[in-house]
Chain A
Amino acid sequence: MVNSLYTKPLTLDARGASATWEDCIMELAKKLIACLAILAFTASVALAAEGGNPRKGKYLYKKTCRTCHSPGKEGGDLTPQSKTQAQWDRYFKENKHKAKPGVWEKYSPQDLKDINQFLYDHAIDSDQPETCG
C-alpha cells in the first residue's frame, strides 16, 4: 500500500522541475545516510564510557543490596534516589563500599557496572516519571 504513494508523478514547485517520488525518496535517503554516518561517529564517541545494563543492575540491586539497605536493616535505607548521578559515579569509582569492602569483592566488574548504571539512571537528578503519584 505504501508503494502506491511513490508511483505517482509529482511536480515540485520549489525545484521548478518534475521529479518522481522515487527520485525524491532516493535523494532523501542519500542525505539521511550521510547524516547517520556523521551521527554514528559522534554517538559512538559519546557512548564509549557506557556499558552497564540497568535492568541486570536493578535485579542485582534488589537481590543483594536491598537485603541490607532497607528500612530497619543493618545498612539503613538506601535507594537510587539517595544520591545524585555524580555521587553514584563517584561512589563506584572511589568509595567502593568502604564500610564493608568484602561485599564489593563478591561482584564481577560487569555486575558493578550494571548496578552503577541502574543507580545512575534512577538517581535523584535523573528523569523521573511525570505522574501525580
Chain B
Amino acid sequence: MRKLFAFLLVALLALPATALAANDAQNVEGLRKQVKDLSQRLDEISGRINKNTIKRAVDRFNWYGDMRVKADTLHYRDVTFNPGIQVDFTDFANKAMNGDFGDPNDATSPLGQMLAANPALATAFQNGQLQGIMPYAFAPKKTYDVDNDILYTTRLRLSFRAKVWKNVKFSARLNMYKNWGDSTGVKVFDSWNSYTMDGTDGGNTTGDWLRVERAYFAWHDIAGSPFYLSIGRRPSTYGPPTQFRENEPRGGTPSGHLVNFNFDGVTIGYSLGRITGVEGQVLRFCYGQGYESQWGNGELFNSVDTRDTHLGGFNFDAINDGTNFLQFTLFEALDVTDGFKGLIAFPTQFAQFFAPTLNQDLQKFPNFNFVTRVQPSTNIGNITLGGIGFSRKEMNGINWFGSVGWTRSDPNGHAGMFGGLLSDAVYKAQLNQDKTEIIMKPAGATSDAPKNGWSVYAGIQVPAPLGKAGLEYNYGSKYWTPFTQAQDDMVGSKLATRGHVVEGYYIFDINPKMFIKVGGIYYDYNYTNSGSPVGTPQKVSDVKDGKSYSLLPVVDTAWDGYASMTVKF
C-alpha cells in the first residue's frame, strides 16, 4: 500500500513538469488516464481492504479441522465368557446355619429357593464344603470366536482458535465420532470400551453428536514472566509419541503412553527454556477432576458416600527442539472410583446372574436393552503413574521413539460390583428388603496390597514410496493401568493392553492435506481387564481353562485390519 501511494504521489508531482517539458498534449492525456486508472484501482483495493478488515474484526476465531473415514475388520479369537464372583461362603454358611435365610428344607424360603435353583450349591452346602472365599459361577463357561468382517467409522473434528489478547489464546475442538449405522450414543455393556462417559467419548463411537473434546484458554507470559496458565477441558488426548501413527503434529500435552483421556482441569506452566536456553523446555503442573461425587448424583437425597476423584502431577518437556523430544511425567489420581458416571445399554446377561425377577420380564424382550445411567459405588484407592518418553526425527526422514511407563495402585480394600482397585470383590449373601430373596452384595476387596505395573512402547517410521511405513510394539505387564481409554483403537486402547501388541502401517501422503493409512494391529492379551483399574487381572489362560472368572467376556487374541482416509481442511 505504501508503495502504491508513493507511486501515485510521484506520478501526480511529475505530471505538470512532464507536460510542460514535453509540451505534448498527448502525453498529458495519457498520464491523466493512467492516474485515473490508478485511482480507480486504489478505490477498489481500499474497498477490499475495508471488507477484509471488517471481516477480520468480526471473525473472532479461525476454523480448521479434519475428517477421517475408516474401515476396520475385527477378529477376536478364543473369547471366553466364564461369569462368576468371589463369595464369602463362611459368612454364607454361618448365616444359613443361623436360620437367617429361612429353612433350607422349605422350598418357599429364600434359602430353599436358592438351593433348588443351584443343585451344585445345594450339594456343597449339605456336605459342609462351603468354607472361605470361593468362586461362585453364574453360568457354564463358553469359548468362541467373534468376527466383524467390516466396521466403518467416521470421525469429524472441528477445531477453532481465537487470539483473545496479545498473550491470551483460546482453543477448542468439537468431535463427532460414529460408527456407520448407529447414532444411539450407547452400546450394550460387554466391555469397559462400551461405556459412554465423559473421559472417553472423544475416542469412542458415540453417534452423530458433536461433543466438546477440548476447550481451553492459555494465558502466556503472565506479568512478563515465563509462567502461563491454562484452564478448561484439556488437550489430554493423542499425546506424544502417538502422533507418528496419527500422522499429525503432537496432538496433546501429556504422554500418550500414560494418558489419553478427556478431563477438565488446570495447567500452570513455566517456560524453563527462556532461562536455560533449551528450546521448548517447559515444566507444567497439571490438576484435574476425574469424577464429581455429589453434583448430579442425587446429592439432596443425602445418600452419596463417594468422594471426588482428583488428579495432579508434573509434566516436563525437557527437550522439544523439533528434532529431539524428551518428556518426563509423574502424576497421581486420588480416590479413584470403581467406575465412572456413564451410560450403558444394560446387558440381559447381568439380569440373569443378579436379578432373577427382572430376568423373567426381560426374557419377553430379548432384543431390548434398557439404557441406564451408571455411577460409581465406592472409592477404591489411589493410582500413581510415571514415565519417560523420547522421540527423534532423523535428517533422512526416519522417526523413532521409545517410552517406558510405570503405574502403581494403592487399594483401600473397598470394592464395588466389578471389584476393587486391581482386586476382586468379595460378595456376601444377604436378604433383600422384603426378605424374600437372597442377594449378593460386594462387601470388600480380595486384596489391599499395592501393585506395580509397567509398560514399554517403541516404534519406527521410515520414508517409503509415496509416503511412510511404520512399525510399533508395546507390552504391558499384569498390573499395567494407564489412563489411555480414549485411544480410538476399535478393539480397545492398544497402549492399555496387558500383553503384547504389534502394529504395522503404511501411510500414503496424497498431498499435504490428505492421506490414506492402511495397517493392522495384533493383540495378544496375557491378562484380563486391560484398560480398567477395577478387578484382579486374571491370566487369560486361567479363564480359558475355567480356573478364573470374569463378569465380562475375556479376549485372548485379536486382530484389527484397517484402512482409512483423512482429509484436513
Known: A47-B509, A55-B393. A133 touches B249 (CB 8 A): no
Asked whether A81 is an interface residue with its Cβ less than 8 Å from the other chain, the reply is: no
Asked whether B182 is an interface residue with its Cβ less than 8 Å from the other chain, the reply is: no
Looking at the assembled complex, report how far the CB atom of A14 sits from the nearest CB atom of chain B, in whole angstroms.
7
Asked whether B267 is an interface residue with its Cβ less than 8 Å from the other chain, the reply is: yes
B238 cross-chain contacts in A, Cβ below 8 A: 130
Looking at the assembled complex, report how far the CB atom of B170 sits from the nearest CB atom of chain A, in whole angstroms.
11
The interface centre, meaning the residue of A42, A58, A131 with most chain B CB atoms within 10 A of its CB, is: A131
Looking at the assembled complex, report how far the CB atom of A35 sits from the nearest CB atom of chain B, in whole angstroms.
8
Looking at the assembled complex, report how far the CB atom of A110 sits from the nearest CB atom of chain B, in whole angstroms.
14
Chain B residue nearest to A40 (CB atoms) is B466
Q: How far is the CA of A100 from the CA of B536 in the complex (A)?
A: 70
Asked whether B106 is an interface residue with its Cβ less than 8 Å from the other chain, the reply is: no
Known: A55-B323, A55-B393, A55-B397. A133 touches B269 (CB 8 A): yes
Asked whether, in the complex, the Cβ of B234 is within 8 Å of the Cβ of A132, the reply is: yes
Looking at the assembled complex, report how far the CB atom of B196 sits from the nearest CB atom of chain A, in whole angstroms.
24
Interface string of B253-272 (1 = CB under 8 A from A): 10000000000000101010
Asked whether, in the complex, the Cβ of A39 is within 8 Å of the Cβ of B516, the reply is: yes
Known: A47-B511, A59-B395. A130 touches B466 (CB 8 A): no
B214 cross-chain contacts in A, Cβ below 8 A: 130
Asked whether A1 is an interface residue with its Cβ less than 8 Å from the other chain, the reply is: yes
Asked whether B41 is an interface residue with its Cβ less than 8 Å from the other chain, the reply is: no
Looking at the assembled complex, report how far the CB atom of B367 sits from the nearest CB atom of chain A, in whole angstroms.
18
Q: How far is the CA of A12 from the CA of B147 in the complex (A)?
A: 9
* Chain A: interface size category: 20 to 34
Asked whether A128 is an interface residue with its Cβ less than 8 Å from the other chain, the reply is: yes
Asked whether B522 is an interface residue with its Cβ less than 8 Å from the other chain, the reply is: yes
Asked whether A56 is an interface residue with its Cβ less than 8 Å from the other chain, the reply is: yes
Asked whether, in the complex, the Cβ of B322 is within 8 Å of the Cβ of A5, the reply is: no
Interface string of A14-33 (1 = CB under 8 A from B): 10000000000000100010
B557 cross-chain contacts in A, Cβ below 8 A: 1, 5
Report whether over half of chain B's contact residues are helix, strand or loop; otherwise say mixed. strand
Other-chain contact of A5, B149, B282, B284, B559 (Cβ < 8 Å): B559
Interface residues contributed by chain B, number (CB under 8 Å)? 51
Q: How far is the CA of A55 from the CA of B147 in the complex (A)?
A: 43
Asked whether B185 is an interface residue with its Cβ less than 8 Å from the other chain, the reply is: no
Asked whether, in the complex, the Cβ of A5 is within 8 Å of the Cβ of B77, the reply is: yes
A35 cross-chain contacts in B, Cβ below 8 A: 563
Known: A12-B149, A127-B568. A132 touches B75 (CB 8 A): no
Asked whether, in the complex, the Cβ of A133 is within 8 Å of the Cβ of B228, the reply is: yes
Q: How far is the CA of A14 from the CA of B149 in the complex (A)?
A: 10
Asked whether B155 is an interface residue with its Cβ less than 8 Å from the other chain, the reply is: no
Q: Which of A113-133 contact B (CB under 8 A)?
A: 127-133
Known: A5-B75, A42-B510. A130 touches B149 (CB 8 A): no
Q: How far is the CA of A42 from the CA of B557 in the complex (A)?
A: 37
A46 cross-chain contacts in B, Cβ below 8 A: 510-511
B466 cross-chain contacts in A, Cβ below 8 A: 39-40, 43-44, 47
Looking at the assembled complex, report how far the CB atom of A132 sits from the nearest CB atom of chain B, in whole angstroms.
4
Asked whether, in the complex, the Cβ of B253 is within 8 Å of the Cβ of A132, the reply is: yes
Looking at the assembled complex, report how far the CB atom of B544 sits from the nearest CB atom of chain A, in whole angstroms.
15
Known: A1-B524, A42-B510. A130 touches B171 (CB 8 A): yes
B81 cross-chain contacts in A, Cβ below 8 A: none
B323 cross-chain contacts in A, Cβ below 8 A: 55, 58
Q: How far is the CA of A40 from the CA of B397 in the complex (A)?
A: 20
Q: Which of A51-103 contact B (CB under 8 A)?
A: 53, 55-56, 58-59
B159 cross-chain contacts in A, Cβ below 8 A: 130
Asked whether, in the complex, the Cβ of A58 is within 8 Å of the Cβ of B510, the reply is: no
Asked whether, in the complex, the Cβ of B218 is within 8 Å of the Cβ of A127, the reply is: no
Looking at the assembled complex, report how far the CB atom of A9 sits from the nearest CB atom of chain B, in whole angstroms.
11
Asked whether B337 is an interface residue with its Cβ less than 8 Å from the other chain, the reply is: no
Asked whether, in the complex, the Cβ of B249 is within 8 Å of the Cβ of A43, the reply is: no
Known: A130-B235, A131-B250, A132-B218. A56 touches B395 (CB 8 A): yes
Q: How far is the CA of A36 from the CA of B282 in the complex (A)?
A: 42
B252 cross-chain contacts in A, Cβ below 8 A: 130-131
Asked whether A10 is an interface residue with its Cβ less than 8 Å from the other chain, the reply is: yes
A14 cross-chain contacts in B, Cβ below 8 A: 149
Looking at the assembled complex, report how far the CB atom of B524 sits from the nearest CB atom of chain A, in whole angstroms.
7
B248 cross-chain contacts in A, Cβ below 8 A: 127
Chain A residue nearest to B271 (CB atoms) is A133
A47 cross-chain contacts in B, Cβ below 8 A: 466, 509, 511
Asked whether, in the complex, the Cβ of B397 is within 8 Å of the Cβ of A130, the reply is: no
Other-chain contact of A133, B250, B267, B511 (Cβ < 8 Å): B267
Asked whether, in the complex, the Cβ of A39 is within 8 Å of the Cβ of B508, the reply is: yes
Asked whether B414 is an interface residue with its Cβ less than 8 Å from the other chain, the reply is: no
The interface centre, meaning the residue of B75, B269, B466, B467 with most chain A CB atoms within 10 A of its CB, is: B466
A8 cross-chain contacts in B, Cβ below 8 A: 145
Q: How far is the CA of A56 from the CA of B216 in the complex (A)?
A: 35
The interface centre, meaning the residue of B218, B271, B508 with most chain A CB atoms within 10 A of its CB, is: B508
Asked whether, in the complex, the Cβ of B522 is within 8 Å of the Cβ of A2, the reply is: yes
Looking at the assembled complex, report how far the CB atom of A26 sits from the nearest CB atom of chain B, in whole angstroms.
14
Looking at the assembled complex, report how far the CB atom of B523 sits from the nearest CB atom of chain A, in whole angstroms.
11
Q: How far is the CA of A106 from the CA of B460 in the complex (A)?
A: 35
Chain A residue nearest to B237 (CB atoms) is A130
Chain B residue nearest to A59 (CB atoms) is B395
Given contacts A2-B522, A5-B77, A36-B508, 10 further A-B contacts (CB under 8 A): A2-B559, A5-B75, A14-B149, A55-B394, A59-B395, A128-B249, A129-B251, A130-B171, A130-B238, A132-B284
Residues of B within 8 A of A (CB): 73, 75, 77, 145, 147, 149, 159, 171, 173, 214, 216, 218, 220, 228, 230, 234-235, 238, 248-253, 267, 269, 271, 282, 284, 322-323, 393-395, 397, 465-467, 508-511, 516, 518, 522, 524, 557, 559, 561, 563, 568
Residues of A within 8 A of B (CB): 1-2, 5, 8, 10, 12, 14, 28, 32, 35-36, 39-40, 42-44, 46-47, 53, 55-56, 58-59, 127-133
Q: What 4 A-B pairs have minimum CB-CB distances, sorted nearest first?
A: A132-B230, A129-B250, A131-B253, A43-B466
What are 25 sample pairs from A and B whose C-beta atoms fall under 8 A apart?
A2-B522, A5-B77, A32-B518, A35-B563, A36-B508, A36-B518, A42-B510, A43-B508, A47-B511, A53-B397, A56-B395, A59-B395, A127-B248, A130-B250, A131-B250, A131-B253, A132-B216, A132-B234, A132-B267, A132-B284, A133-B218, A133-B220, A133-B228, A133-B269, A133-B282
